[in-house]
Each structure stands twice: as C-alpha cells, then as structure tokens.
Amino acid sequence: MQNIHVPFPCADQLVRCSVSVFQIYLPYYIIIKICEVENCCKIRELLPSGLVNPLFFHAHSINFAIKQEFIWLKIFYYLLFALIFFFKNANAQNAEDNPKLVVGIVIDQMRWDYLYRFGNNYSNDGFKRMLNSGYSFENTYIPYLPTYTAVGHTSVYTGSVPAIHGIAGNNWYERSISKKVYCTDDSTVTTVGSNTSQGKMSPVNMWVTTVSDELRLSTNFKSKVIGVSIKDRGSILPAGHSANAAYWYDDKEGKWISSSYYMNELPAWVKKINNADEVAQYMSKDWNLLLDKQKYLQSDNDANDFEGTYHGQKNNSFPYDLNAIEKKEKYAAFKTTPFAATYTFNFAEAAIENEKLGQNTVPDFLAVSISSTDYIGHRNGPNSLEIEDAYLRLDRDIAHFLQFLDAKIGKEKYLIFLTADHAVNHIPAYLNAHKLPGAVFDNKSFVNQINDAVEAAFGIKKIILNSDNYQLYLDRKAISHSGKDANLVKEKIMEEVRKFPFVTDVFETQKILVTTIPEPLHTRLINGYNALRSGDIHYIIKPGYFSGSSKGTTHGMWNPYDSHIPLIWYGWHIKPGATHKEVYMTDIAPTVAALLKIQMPSGCVGKVLQEIVN
C-alpha cells in the first residue's frame, strides 16, 4: 500500500483527527510514557507490539496508511502531556496557595525617607533586598489624626481608623469612668512572667478584629498568631483578640512578659531567654558607631544642645558607656539602644523556632514591632548620628532575619510587609538653626491660660479635665452645675485658643463634618473623631510645631513629616516593583486578607492594593 505523507494540519483537521486517533491510542501512550518514567519493562511487554511507538501507525490499523512520523502529532502529544503535568503540579501546589508564614514588621517612628537617606550605608541584604526584590508603595500615608503608636499599630492590622476601631490615642480620657486611660490597660488580668504590674494589659479597648483575628477565624483557629514587641501596645494590638500569645518587655525586671489574657505561665523557651539575662550583657558594653564616623553623611554634628541626654548622663555623644548607667536604670535604658531591636528580632526567631510557626497546615502569623527606633528618635531626632546608626544596625538585623526565614521557612514561602506606625517631625531648634519654621509649646501653660480665662469669665474652675492628642476634654458636669450656657463656654474656650500664635484653627469635635477645613486634613479629622473617646475641642497647629520638650522631638500631626511612611511587600507571590500612587496605612490589612483569601477585619475601611494581589 502506498505510503501517504500528511503535512502539518490546520486546526479543524487536528480536531477531527484527534477524535478518531487519540481516543484509541492515548490510553496506551500514557501507559507507555509512565512505564518509561518508572522503567516498568514487564508492563511494556504486555502491550501490543504495534503500540510500542504510537507515533507510527500502519495503514491497515486506520483508514489511511502512515509510515512517516507525524511531527504535528508528536507536538500535540507533548503539549498534551505538558498540560497533564501542569494540572498534576497544580494539585500538588494546593498547599502552596497560601504562604506558610505571614510576618508583619512595624518600625516604630520610621519616616519613609529613611529608606533612601541612609541607603549608601545599608547592606545589600536588608532594606535593599526588600526594595530590590519586593514591591514598594512610595506614597503611603496615615489617613487620620492623631499619628501615635497605639493608633498606628491598630490601624495597620485592622484596616480601620480611630472613629471605628476605638483606639483614639496612646491615652485618652474615658468619660464613663471619669479617668484618663492607657490604650491597653486591663485591670481584670494579671502579669505573667514578672512581679510588676506591666503585664496588666490586653486588647480589650479595641472594638474590632484584626487581620490576624480573621486568619484564626478562617482556619477554625488552627493558625497560630503571636505578637512580639518591646512596647506592650506594639505587640498586643497587632496580635488581636484571639492571638495565641503576645509578648512585650518589662523594663523593671528586663524580661519578656505576657498577661493572663493569653496564658497562665510563660512557655519554657521564654523562661530560658529571661534566665539568660541577655539585656545585662548588652548593657555591659559601649554603644559606639557601627561604621567609621566619616561615613555618616546624613547626620548633624554629634552632641547638640537640642538633643536629649541618656538616662541622667551628661554626655549625649558617642561612644555611650552603657555600663556606667545606674543598675536600677539599665533595664529601662536598654529600650533606647539599637540593641533592643536585635533583641526583638532574636526573640521573634525563637518564637518561630519553638512555636513551629510556618510548619502548620495553614498559614501562621507573626506580628513584630521594633520600638527602639521610636525611643532613640524622640531623644535625638531624625538628623542625629544616633538615629542613623540605629537604622544601619536595624538594616543588619533585618538581613539576618530574612536569612533565618529563608532557612527555616523557605524562600518564597513567607510573606512580609514592612511599614511604620507613624513618622516624626524634625527638632524645632534644628529647623530654626537652618532658618526653617518650627517651635515647641508647653501644654501645661497652654491649659492653665485657658482655665484662668474661663474662670474669670464664668466662675468655673479648671474647665479642662484633660488635654491629649491636641484635644481638650471639658468638665461637662461643672458647666451644667454652673448654670452657664455650654455653647457660650465653648466659644470662650475657642476664643482663648485662637490667641496662641501657633494655632491655625479650632472647632468643636462634634461639628467636624461642617467645619471649613481643607482636604486632606478634613478627612483625617473625621476619621480620627471618636464620639466616645475624643475631646470636646480640637485645635490645629502650624507645621513644624508641637507640644513637648525643648529637647528632642515628637509626632502626632497630619503633616507629611508625621504621616508619610514606608510600605514594602516582600516574599510569597510578590513581584519586584514600585509605585508612587497614593495609598494608605489602612490598605494593608485588606490586602493581606485578599492574599490569604479570608474576610477583611470587622471595621475595615481600606482598599485592596491591586498591585499586590494581581
């Protein structure tokens, strides 16, 4: 019989042929290929001899004679088997549909520009690794007031704002108990791990869930969630209500502690770390510059009068003799050294190791907050040698942590986001030295002047019960008992506030919606107003100004120097890139939720970052 050469067919010919030929020979072909892979010669011997190579067929086997190899058929077979192996691998990768471990890293008081200001002295394995291999949102802002630690950590992990999540500041005046409260205070729990009261803390004051809570809910509480921070609020609020544990630092005894909200006793591995008293070892040496001084090109001169001193020491320049600090002060002083960041990351690694985070059948979550950068920044300011050195050391700590995750969890198997809870203002005296505007005002004198004016006008003594977060909490009972018109009293207070040269605006908090304040400030004020926890009067001050000490600096305002923060995503399913699109701190939690395919937190107002999920 004459042999027929069949050229490469068009699509419809291929389909028609596939119906007749593939249905007959495909099962045998699959068996043969499996045999070839598994080297099963005995099974091959049982097959018809004409089927040993199904790419060659005799004419009597089908309607036409084929002696030459069907190149197009061979291509089709290989494509088909590629698809088979694709689906096989897809099924095998179902377990990889989520990262093994999610790590949130919040650097307390980190300004966005620190990513680049100190970049020349960063290693290639810390911040630069995350920037080069991760995705950076270069214009990430805080969409509320005030910009403080407790509010920032809560907003990152809830995707919400103070108006909804309830954390109105680090502190606020609670009218229901006529008392100033701290954000994580909880008198119903006890300290676990030390003999102090520093463990009487929990997330009870937070009204909504965190993304880590939602992860626990979505996995029927199989996921482990742990929070770690020197500051209690940096650990407790991110970890959420249902966390397995939250650990923070007791600066009286130099130990990692927790509260009875989470456990009755510290795990053995935490006790072992505490018994080693590593803090004493850190505080027995000097804090000197990591690099040669001439390499610190982004810092001001050392030993400036406008910088704070170090725990009673007269010296405020390098090297710092940590061993000279009084013994009773050493544990507290440790928080304000860069070694506290190293200590925190080491503890985080120990938590991963001992709690077997990332070894679960479902994703686990570790919330890490670095607090020492905030303490150093407050004391020395963003233009100091101290803060630059702290970030160079932090860069090395991050590099070590990433290498640990690579080895323990596996590259591309963990997801990290790195951000900040707020940024920070320059020290006003530093600004003034360079002919830039800025100043400090004394809050106590400010309040006393207003109280005196109201007493003179209405006979009401100490009308201001509390002044926090640039808000005034008024004694409503005293106003009511005086018989005076409350509106007139408030007008008098606002009249007095306007007399201060650093004030640009003042208004009743209940009337925020109708105030004539420009954007973006107006929205930030609305997001920050909590009817149950905010004050009665809110005042806005000039850029560069703040309430505080003449030495050092602080934060809390809406301005970019306080609200422009870094946001880098790195690891699992993250492609390298960057954008200058304006996004917000509140977008982090819903994006994590989208990546994990879980529900957003209960008070979430943020949006999913499409650059990450796509």
How many C-beta neighbours within 10 Å does residue 588 have? Answer: 27
The CA–CA distances, whole Å, from 138 to 135, 467, 530, 582, 585 equal 9, 34, 29, 8, 12
Determine the Cα–Cα distance for residues 141 and 510; give it in Å rounded to an integer: 25
DSSP characters over 3-48 = --PPPPP-HHHHHHHIIIIIHHHHHHHHHHHHHHHHT-HHHHHHS-
Asked if 308 and 551 count as a contact pair (C-beta separation under 8 A), the reply is: yes
The secondary structure of residue 61, as a DSSP letter, is G
- Calpha distance 108→559 (Å, rounded): 17
Q: How far is residue 492's CA from residue 450's CA, in Å, rounded to a whole number? A: 9
149 is catalytic: yes
The tokens of 345 are what?
A: 């990351």
Task: Please give the single-letter amino acid code of residue 186.
Answer: D
One-character DSSP codes across 446-503: HHHHHHHHHHHHH--S--EEEEETTEEEE-HHHHHHHT--HHHHHHHHHHHHHTSTTE
Q: Is 98 exposed, middle or buried (0-12, 13-18, 19+ CB in 10 A)?
A: buried
Beta pairing class for 567-571 and 414-419: antiparallel
In this structure, are residues 417 and 588 in contact, taking their beta carbons and an 8 Å threshold? Answer: yes
Q: Report CA dihedral (602, 603, 607, 608) to the nearest 10 degrees.
A: -30
First to last CA, the chain: 58
Q: Residue 114 burial (CB < 10 Å; 0-12/13-18/19+)?
A: buried
Q: Please check whether residue 72 is in contact with residue 337, taking contact to mean a CB–CB distance below 8 angstroms.
A: no
Nearest to 530 by CA among 276, 250, 155, 78: 155
Contact in structure between 164 and 605 (CB atoms under 8 Å): yes
Per DSSP, 174 falls in state: E
Q: What count of Cα atoms within 13 Å lies in the side-chain half-sphere of residue 348?
A: 29
Angle (CA) 342 345 351, round 5°: 145
Taking a C-beta distance cutoff of 8 angstroms, is the pair 562, 130 a contact? no
Residue length of the chain: 614
CA distance 478 to 498: 23
Q: Are 449 and 497 in contact (CB under 8 A)?
A: no
* Among 140, 149, 191, 209, the one annotated catalytic: 149
Which are the catalytic amino acids?
149
